[in-house]
A and B are shown apart, each in its own frame.
Chain A
Amino acid sequence: MRDMSGKVAYIRFIFIFLSFLLIAMFLIDLLSGSVHIDLSEAFGSLLLGKTNDNGLILTQFRLPKAITAVIAGAAIACSGLVMQTVFRNPLAGPDVLGVSSGAGLGVALMILTVTPFIHTGNASWLQGWGLILAAWIGAGGVMFLIMTVSSRMRDIMTVLIIGILIASAISSVVSVMQYFSNETMLKTYVVWTMGNIGNLSPSQVKVLAISSAAGLLLALLEIKPLNAILMGETFARTVGVNIKLSRILIFASASILAGSVTAFCGPVAFIGIAVPHIARLLTGSSDHRILLPASLLTGSITLLISDIISNIPISGSVLPINTVTSLIGIPVILWIIIGKKGIKKTF
């Protein structure tokens, strides 16, 4: 159609810009940290396989961490985007609606109650697929609950408040569990709640990558229904969307993505709500063919930047990544609510 070529060129520019930014942030993330590593050293150890102390830090610690940031950022952003569309709620996201809490409950059950009774021989399985499975079940359970409620009550605020209530209820349950668990387990759990993308073993990174890919694939297959659902549910039904099936697939996708990330990185706050809005703002589009990839890129970049900021040495220690993502995400959310004069006008 006429006059659309300018828009296409603009979108292309945005994607090229985001890709460059992603690569740049990935490199900066590799180089930043308490031990100084310069670019030539990094290339040496990554590409030529030179093994010295700094090379080990790079390949064993920083590279898995940067890869985790890329995967987790993309996954949590995608989860937020599809939830916002299906709930038709610009403030939906895995953390706000209690889905991350649900995943957390799964993790807490695993860490605080199941793990102590299992022999050490099975521990590696438990820290990989076992943990993630528990998180999926927890996330999926909350998602199902919210889905049931929202099919009866359409009001944005009601659904949000119920999400918040579910999150509080879960945190109370977890508190009770903490009270009865031993010291080592408690510490493991508390450290987990602070959010950490640097603690994953290579095999855990692999599990995260595989499960996130599965969740992303589901979301990818639902791009067309998502576009129709955004126009309105009645419309979607009359043009042939199987609403029930689409909802189940989309919620499965969001639960898998949010659950996987939460299992390994802890509750990553506010990225899920904020990133899709940044993507909308950048692309000026509501088409998921554009929004989904833009959210993935923006999510990865945002988490990389958060990690870089959290690594700036302040009095010798690093900040938990959760605090940084909150500091980035909350202003965006405030801007949605206050700056746009009403949360309904932001899609």
Chain B
Amino acid sequence: MSLYEEIVITRDLTIGYSDRQGSIKVMSDINVSACRGELVALIGRNGSGKSTLLRSIVSLQNPLSGEVYINNCPLFQIPKTELTKTISFTSTEPIDIHNIRVSEAVASGRYPYTNWLGTLSDEDRQKTEEALTLTGLIRLQNRKIYSLSDGERQRVLIARSLAQDTELLVMDEPTAYLDLPSRYSIVSLLRKLSHEKNKCIIFSTHDLDTALNEADKIWLMKSEKICQGAPEDLVINKSLSQAFEDPFLSFSTTTGTFSLKRNPVGTVSLEGTGQLRRWTERALNRIDFKIDPSSKIVVYTELSGENALWHVQINANEEKTFRTLYDLVNYLAILIPADV
């Protein structure tokens, strides 16, 4: 057995749309793969073709050229009935039904396994219950979906896809519209499922933070091509900073985060240590002051007991003291036009 059990492989895939007028290419030369037990995050800018790629992988639309292989078998050769038991797809389409309970919605993932009426067998019930337990929804199973929070609703979609009992789970933007804690809880849930249940989970997201922290592998859509690797690989080889290259945005390879690029309006010499210094520096950066030890404006931080104090010295004779960063920042902002 090889080290990598690849479930999805794409070979020279070109994705896009075709109609009677011709075809619109979204991206070509896509060569990526995803393995069993792996959480893969697909990231890229708006309109880069994330959804198109995912829809091509789950056979909701045909690629313009090239091939998707599922378990080393070309996608188009897999019979539809088998495909529905191998791949599940969660789109951004919400469940828009008033009268539906959580357990019913999750059980609908059993569609490929049930009879012509959709009657649930004991196995179907057991798989549904397992999916509810894994996603932490078991206590909410009799609630109607409309009464849930956005994060819980997203869990319902994930549970439904789990109930479908497939090796590959593909999800389009599962963290869209969620707040930060919910985003983290959803992505860490996906991570847990891929690792503990040995599933291959591919999800697209705009949220770099969670993707870089939680995913095993990143598929990164750049303007012309797609590259893959561990999140850290993509930071080191600068793919990430290139992909999101922008006149206003800079990517810090030390922290792995993006920040707005701005021109400094003034300089400050900062003296101090520890946390107090770090947050003071952040506040100064926010109002576009650059830290420069040769500056005529000197800011010292001082910790007296529980309270922090900031002293500002201009031209070595004038000194002011502030009790909050808010006041300090406002004072400095007024100083600028005077061109110190």
Contact = CB atoms under 8 A, between A and B. Distances in A.
Given A3-B142, A232-B91, A234-B91, A347 B118 contact: no
Given A231-B105, A285-B99, A287-B104, A221 B116 contact: yes
Given A232-B93, A234-B93, A240-B84, A289 B118 contact: yes
Contacts of A347: 96-99
Given A1-B129, A231-B105, A239 B98 contact: no
Interface string A230-270: 11111101111100000000000000000000000000000
Interface residues of A, number: 31
A199 interface: no
B38 to A, nearest CB: 21
B203 interface: no
Contacts of B142: 3-4
Interface in B54-88: 58, 60, 80-81, 83-84, 87-88
Given A223-B118, A238-B84, A239-B111, A232 B60 contact: no
Given A3-B142, A239-B109, A240-B81, A223 B98 contact: no
B308 interface: no
B56 to A, nearest CB: 13
A227 B60 contact: no
A346 interface: yes
Nearest to A235: B93
Contacts of B129: 1
A286 B98 contact: yes
B103 interface: yes
A286 B146 CA distance: 13
A267 to B, nearest CB: 29
Nearest to A90: B98
A198 interface: no
Contact of A280 (B58, B99, B117, B141): B99
A227 to B, nearest CB: 6
A224 B116 CA distance: 6
Contacts of A287: 104
Nearest to B114: A224
A224 B104 CA distance: 13
Contacts of B33: none
B98 A346 contact: yes
A289 B117 contact: yes
B125 interface: yes
Interface in B104-133: 104-105, 108-109, 111-112, 114, 116-118, 125, 128-129
Contacts of B84: 238-240
A196 B173 CA distance: 54
B89 interface: yes
Interface in A317-347: 344-347
B301 interface: no
Contact of B96 (A88, A223, A238): A88
B80 A240 contact: yes
Contact of B125 (A1, A221, A227): A1
B236 interface: no
Interface in B171-200: none
Interface string A275-299: 0000010001111010000000000
A238 B118 contact: no
A96 interface: no
B88 A238 contact: yes
Interface in A189-236: 221, 223-224, 227-228, 230-235
Contacts of A284: 99
A87 B201 CA distance: 32
B60 A238 contact: yes
A234 B142 CA distance: 25
B95 interface: yes
A339 to B, nearest CB: 13
A1 B111 CA distance: 18
Given A1-B129, A4-B142, A223-B117, A238 B99 contact: no
A231 B315 CA distance: 70
Contacts of A344: 96
Nearest to B99: A286
Given A286-B100, A347-B97, A1 B141 contact: yes
B239 interface: no
A2 B128 CA distance: 12
Contacts of B81: 240
Given A238-B88, A239-B84, A345-B146, A231 B60 contact: no
Contacts of B94: 232
A285 B101 CA distance: 9
Contacts of B228: none
B204 interface: no
Contacts of B104: 286-287
B164 interface: yes
Contact of A239 (B97, B99, B100, B164): B164
Contacts of B128: 1
A175 B119 CA distance: 50
Nearest to B110: A239
Contact of B97 (A231, A240, A289): A231
Contact of B60 (A88, A230, A234): A234
Contacts of B97: 230-231, 286, 347
17 contacts: A88-B96, A221-B116, A224-B111, A224-B118, A231-B95, A232-B94, A232-B95, A232-B96, A234-B93, A235-B91, A238-B58, A239-B112, A240-B84, A286-B97, A286-B104, A347-B96, A347-B97
Given A1-B129, A232-B93, A238-B87, 9 more contacts: A88-B96, A224-B111, A228-B111, A235-B108, A237-B60, A239-B112, A240-B84, A286-B104, A346-B98
